[in-house]
Amino acid sequence: MTFFSIKHKLLCSTLLLPFALLGSAWGQHIPQEFGKVLFELLPAAAAAPVTGGSTTGNLTTEAPSIRPADETHPVRKPSAPAPLRFSTALDKEAQALAVVTAAWRETLPDTEYLRILNSPNRAPLLAPPFGLKGGKSGAVKVAWQELEEPTLGQQYTSDSSLQALVEWYRGAYGIPFTVRTVALADTATGGVMTIARGTHRIGNTIVSVMIWNPTVGQTKGRKNRRASYQQKTSVAVQERAFRPRDMFVAEGPDAVVELTWQVPYGDAIQQLSQKYEIDPFLIAALVQQESNFNPGAISVDSAMGLTQMIPTTAEAMGVTDPADPHQSLEGGVRYLKLMLRQFKGNVMLALAAYNAGPGNVMKYRGVPPFTETRTYVRRIMDRYKEKAGNGNKGA
């Protein structure tokens, strides 16, 4: 028998001896006091933590105690963000607003809506806060990248507090806002800038508003200009308007939509659409019917160019060279605009007048009974509705 087996048996006997004595003593009526003490010690022993120590004879070695996690690996508190330059802070908030605006943009998919572009008579959906005047229209100084150009953008400077302006927009249009305070490195600003940004969909228009204080300005010097900071509040507003594809608007601000039909001279058609506020799909459909986009086309009645204007009409519209694509387009769109105005926006009557002359439309009090004119009007209207109502770009 080996030394280790003998030691193992002795150890087991030592551990079992108290329980054997307890069993025999129980039968010999050991005093109750001993039993009470034993049963008090057993729960205490059961509740004692296990340390993982080893026992050899009377020598006990305990495992080292485990320290709380916060003592051995202290949790570091996040450091405060570094102060930003004024322009950097503004740009970061503008980008955050752009992300939210892009998410709202997804609620108006291109397959169902056409994007409305800016035009001379476009009026803002959002009124100036507190009746402010002198708002800058057109391009907003704050650039919101990775987004389509807004239909309309305006910027204001106000003496009102940021909180007052936030409450005004919230009360007037229900726009929810996120307000943040940003530490600035520019000491002239007072070291802090407060920014509020909000996005909301109103009908088929997505509005994005950013409000911040202080405002940067320009101080004129003898040699150059330098930035100065004023305790005023700036407001930048962008509106992105859309028109359902099943809604056809031939003339007016809502007629100026993005031309998604890939045609020759598309850029020129788009520009003239914005200038004269006529649907670019209608213009393109008319040009296709007149000349199939051939600037050298000449008809039997001496009509020339993309828009097939006869010499007298071309001269009246200021066209000196009907073969020039841009002159022909300009003259033709201008004449179509006159016909739409004369017949109070009635597209079919305006097209009939373009083909047969306004005198015949007035004579017959409608589309003249000429086969050519009626076929002309029907084909343009069919192509216009097909292309404007088609959600697949480039179709």
For 189, which DSSP code?
A: G
Percent of the chain topping pLDDT 70: 72
Residues 321 and 48: their CA atoms lie apart, in Å, by 105
State the pLDDT confidence band at 227, using cuts at 50, 70 and 90.
low
State the pLDDT confidence band at 207, using cuts at 50, 70 and 90.
very high
pTM across the whole model: 0.75
Residue 116 class from Cβ within 10 Å (0-12 exposed, 13-18 middle, 19+ buried)? buried
Selection from 231, 236, 225 nearest residue 199 by Cα:
236
Residues 256 and 142: their CA atoms lie apart, in Å, by 24
Write out pLDDT tens, residues 275-304. Answer: 999 999 999 999 999 999 999 999 888 899
Amino acid at 184: L
pLDDT for position 223: 56
Selection from 284, 328, 333 nearest residue 309 by Cα:
328
Mean pLDDT taken over the chain: 81
Write out pLDDT tens, residues 315-328. Answer: 999 999 999 999 99
pLDDT for position 86: 87
Domains in the chain, ordered, with CATH? 86-243 (no CATH), 253-388 (1.10.530.10)
Average pLDDT of 109-127? Answer: 95
Segment (H or E) for 274 = helix 266-276
pLDDT for position 360: 98
More confident residue, 186 or 138: 186
Task: Count, in order, helices (H) and strands (E) of the chain.
Answer: 12, 11
Percent of the chain topping pLDDT 90: 62
| 290 counts as catalytic | yes
Question: Positive or negative CA dihedral for 127, 128, 130, 131?
Answer: negative
**Catalytic residue among 93, 239, 290, 330, which?**
290
Cα-based angle 211, 214, 220 (whole degrees, multiple of 5): 120
pLDDT for position 393: 52
Q: Is 358 helix (H, G, I), strand (E, B) or coil?
A: helix
